[in-house]
Structure 1
């Protein structure tokens, strides 16, 4: 068996001693674990104000997300739930399932209630809080805990898995402090970029609501100053054509070939590709700049920015008449998607058909106003994409540092 390294690949100047191997929980003074509790056991219920409840819903990597729909407890519930074990600034919170492995620190001493699917660690005085938080994010700890998790889809871990885990740590508090501070500053930068990105997305959502007519109105709430004419209602199928992609048999999808086969997952999280050598009619290909619409599993419009590909059956290619601008139509379909999502409250699987889309009544302005709107949103989308790339790069950099600065 390969011997584990006794010092990390990358470390601060002035530190050369081997790291010490010890039980992970030997770095901890106290573990707070309230899994299994509920307000009903106290004859009480959650509220909409008071002490914020920390759970797997709002404990993200590096921060507590106060923007998500949160639960709160009043002062009586807080006292009965937490007792004398109050969460303090710097304490480390770890999500134990769904998702497993998110790590954040308590940001202040305002008081929090620790709820389901999360535990908290109070570090020993000689263990730096920031360092311990990053130790829990290190590949060796994350991979070991995930390998020992149980529970199928919603994998989870208990304290016995933590108790078994060994970890190497610097013997000196000063090295811990420097490592912890380095990652704390990196996390703060990541959170700042995440908030900027979230704000831009919220701004776009607001513009989509205000720059397209709603509730039977013939004009939008917000528009460019030089335009005043009413928008015209048309059936979408009168000004656009939705073309079905080709349905492939599994043995027709190759590991390599002349053309990539574009599937729904390639727009989101799936970087793997199938290929085809088939020569098909023009309507079965998507070229750079074409407008497409995914309608299975996840749905919504996209402008394809890659090379020429064959598109799969679960994607429509949208061919536009002279009455529609491409960038405007992208946002028109985005606004329609937002309305569909808000009408279901996220509780229903949305299914859209080609017939639904073609019979949909849409409001459209003259082509000049369309181009103005399309250009405005294109610039906003480009800014969002730029911030997303910066954020992804920072996360990748942090991932690399975790691999090199922990063992």
Structure 2
């Protein structure tokens, strides 16, 4: 049993009395106080608008002040009082409150009420956030554009009023949970910010093409409408007008600005071209370069907005949105834009800018991948936004449970669950590679990104105990010509291994000669046993994204190129890990790698069979020749 349950059992075992707000205190309506009255110092004040935007459950300091002369005209807030908003633009915010816990008296103004009482102020403030209160508030709120709750109606609110000791314990629990929730929400928000940066990185990486992709002007691949011209007549209602303010990074924000045009003027305003779902919008000024996709057709488009629509069989609108958001295009846009303080671009200049246009299949894959990333970052139903939302709902559940007293006088509490974040840098790198493989069929990577590179060493050859009767295979650079290493010419002992810097590498390791006489440098082999090598060999231990035999066959075909990048002249040049790590190779998905390996392995076997078969065939032909020769030259001796 928790301490709270014990207190409830002791002080209110039969339940808690519900009282009307007017029975436990007095509501006083505020007056005056405008933002122009604020001073840098003086008497602390709380403006009703700040309760929405700044203050939480309680406050012990104010962010604003007024002069003593102004303060005398305003209503006083004593320590322990609640300051409650009486008006708002929505029912959710009306009657939000803050408990004043500062040491000095402060003042408040119009659109606010002061509640004076003898209860725990934080307990009451928490109650004003609860679902119990919200259900009552909805019934007493009036108004459409401005929602209002009068003191007379608010006084009738029913409040559970347990003994002060119970109130204090509830406050203690909720304070703790509020702090934990705030910390976790901050962590998740930081993680979400990191995910968004990661998403931007992936987007920019996906839209930076290593291969030869055609570049085309926007005017050649899009139908477009520039809505620059006369400002349309506005109205209080009608058709929603999408302005540059509404266009964000990839979506239309219908809350940031709400402007309308009369419905009967819609056809005339949009006579240049009506928007369709899927059309892509880009702003030309204030701000320049914001991009969104039309998600509903019943909108009008304002000045400083250009509508783009990809031409059939050339450009997908979904891909167009992402390429316009990419760093590649944004850099081109800003370079072409004019203005020092406020950047802007003419529609004609914008349409001359070019974008990479891959095949429709690649465009679809890019859009699919980036749509999924976008949902994880922004959709409230999945990913971290969902986790943050879940934490808020969990907090609300705890709060409402604590403030709901059943007839038996029991509270509802559950154990807190904790989440842990793990470091996934390697996973993220591999995920990016797989993503690019999915979209383009292959990705160009550096060997060091998919393999661990290791060099060997040679134990002291003057010490017999390092070599004599050794059982650890030790490979020299001259043996790479064997191609598939099933055995080595030399072995070292355990003591020789421990007293040198050579390293054992597993079977299916690709080795390449870093140096060597004549044609050795640049040759590659693949091991079929565990072994160690000398210092003239580099061992490449493959990670999860690359098949060893694929790497072996690829590097085997790059012999001349590998020798060309060696340091030094043709006789004494050498490769190094520094040169090999950044060496770039094409990397298809594992399934494709495996197919390539199977084909090349068959060719290799065929060549080996011919090479081994021809000498035997030649030898047989020689014997056959010798037989016939001898037969032909063997005559029956003439008698007499």
TM-score (norm 2): 0.35
Match of 1:19, SS state, is coil
Q: Is the 8 A contact 1:62 1:105 kept in 2?
A: no
Which deviations, in whole Å up to 9, do the C-alpha atoms of 1:47-99 show, x marking residues without a partner?
58875643145426972899xxx99444446633557x3454x6533222213
* Mapping of residues 169-318 of structure 1, within 5 Å: 169-170=161-162, 172-192=163-183, 235=218, 238-239=221-222, 301=292
Distance 1:117 1:79, change over 3 A: closer
Q: What residue number does 1:33 align with?
A: 29
Distance 1:52 1:188, change over 3 A: farther
Q: What residue number does 1:97 align with?
A: 87
Distance 1:62 1:196, change over 3 A: farther
* Shift, 1:27, TM fit: 3.5
Equivalent in 53, 56, 63 of residue 56 of structure 2: 63
Match of 1:116, SS state, is coil
* Shift, 1:156, TM fit: 0.9
Match of 1:94, SS state, is strand
Distance 1:38 1:177, change over 3 A: closer
Q: Is the 8 A contact 1:97 1:154 kept in 2?
A: yes
* Shift, 1:20, TM fit: 1.4
Distance 1:119 1:202, change over 3 A: farther
In 2, the alpha carbon distance for the partners of 1:158 and 1:146 equals: 13
Distance 1:62 1:74, change over 3 A: closer
* Mapping of residues 95-134 of structure 1, within 5 Å: 95-98=85-88, 99-106=93-100, 113-124=107-118, 127-134=119-126
In 2, the alpha carbon distance for the partners of 1:328 and 1:101 equals: 46
Distance 1:91 1:205, change over 3 A: farther
Which deviations, in whole Å up to 9, do the C-alpha atoms of 1:206-261 show, x marking residues without a partner?
999xxxxxxxxxxxxxxx9999xxxx99547844789xxxxxxxxxxxxxxxxxxx
Q: What residue number does 1:395 align with?
A: 392
Equivalent in 21, 26, 47 of residue 54 of structure 1: 47
Which deviations, in whole Å up to 9, do the C-alpha atoms of 1:291-337 show, x marking residues without a partner?
66699xxx973699xxxxxx76559996588678957834846999x
Q: What residue number does 2:479 align with?
A: none
Q: What residue number does 1:45 align with?
A: 37
Larger relative contact order, structure 1 or 2 (CA cutoff 8 Å, min sep 6): 1
Which deviations, in whole Å up to 9, do the C-alpha atoms of 1:97-149 show, x marking residues without a partner?
2131323444756986523323243441xx22222112223333332233123
Q: Is the 8 A contact 1:235 1:359 kept in 2?
A: no
In 1, the alpha carbon distance for the partners of 2:158 and 2:58 equals: 30
* Shift, 1:19, TM fit: 0.3
In 2, the alpha carbon distance for the partners of 1:55 and 1:17 equals: 39
Moved more, 382-391 or 187-196: 187-196
Q: Is the 8 A contact 1:300 1:334 kept in 2?
A: no
Q: What residue number does 1:406 align with?
A: 404
In 2, the alpha carbon distance for the partners of 1:48 and 1:377 equals: 48
Q: CA RMSD in A?
A: 6.2
Q: What residue number does 1:149 align with?
A: 141
In 1, the alpha carbon distance for the partners of 2:172 and 2:352 equals: 53
Distance 1:196 1:114, change over 3 A: farther
Name the larger-Rg structure. Answer: 2
In 2, the alpha carbon distance for the partners of 1:174 and 1:164 equals: 25
In 1, the alpha carbon distance for the partners of 2:134 and 2:34 equals: 31
In 1, the alpha carbon distance for the partners of 2:404 and 2:55 equals: 17
Distance 1:233 1:56, change over 3 A: farther
Distance 1:225 1:236, change over 3 A: closer
In 1, the alpha carbon distance for the partners of 2:99 and 2:216 equals: 52
TM-score (norm 1): 0.50
In 2, the alpha carbon distance for the partners of 1:187 and 1:357 equals: 51
Q: Is the 8 A contact 1:145 1:161 kept in 2?
A: no
Match of 2:159, SS state, is strand
In 1, the alpha carbon distance for the partners of 2:56 and 2:347 equals: 40
* Shift, 1:187, TM fit: 3.5
Q: Is the 8 A contact 1:64 1:106 kept in 2?
A: no
Distance 1:115 1:357, change over 3 A: farther
Distance 1:395 1:116, change over 3 A: farther
How many residue pairs were aligned? 303
